Amino acid sequence: QVQLVESGGGSVQSGGSLRLSCAASTDTYSTNCMAWFRKAPEKEREGVAIIYYGGQATYYAESVKGRFTISQDNAKNTMYLQMNSLKSEDTAMYYCAADPTPCGDWVIHESEYFSYWGQGTQVTVSS
């Protein structure tokens, strides 16, 4: 069983930045495919960014492309989401997800693909 723990959420003004972290309780074999999803009130859960192939490949939702950067530190078993130029529409609960099987860009639309989820961290952006 893989445990994922997110941190780094908070409140920030529009245009500000935050960095989310997702610490995994196991090595990179069990987290071959990792992603960030978010869920805003009264909205569907949305894939934000994915990282796979040991961190060599990334893919972003159009809504965050150019503003968010996903990365991972395999030595620390930790994934990050650097969020810059935040907008009010980025307000949501952010979740990290992981799965041991290889994946591709398509999983950003397939939250059901992921076996392991964190508890979430709230991001609130005020205008």
Token digits of residue 51: 């990282």
pLDDT digits 0-9 by tens, 98-121? 999 989 999 999 999 999 999 999
Instruction: Average the pLDDT over 87-103 and give the result.
Output: 95
Longest dimension (CA), the chain: 41
Instruction: Average the pLDDT over 81-99 and give the result.
Output: 97
CA neighbor of 59 nearest in space, from 101, 106, 19: 106
- Averaged confidence pLDDT in the chain: 94
Q: Which helix (H) or strand (E) holds 85?
A: none
> Can you tell me the distance from the alpha carbon of 93 to that of 104, in angstroms, rounded to the nearest whole number?
24
Token digits of residue 116: 């392991």
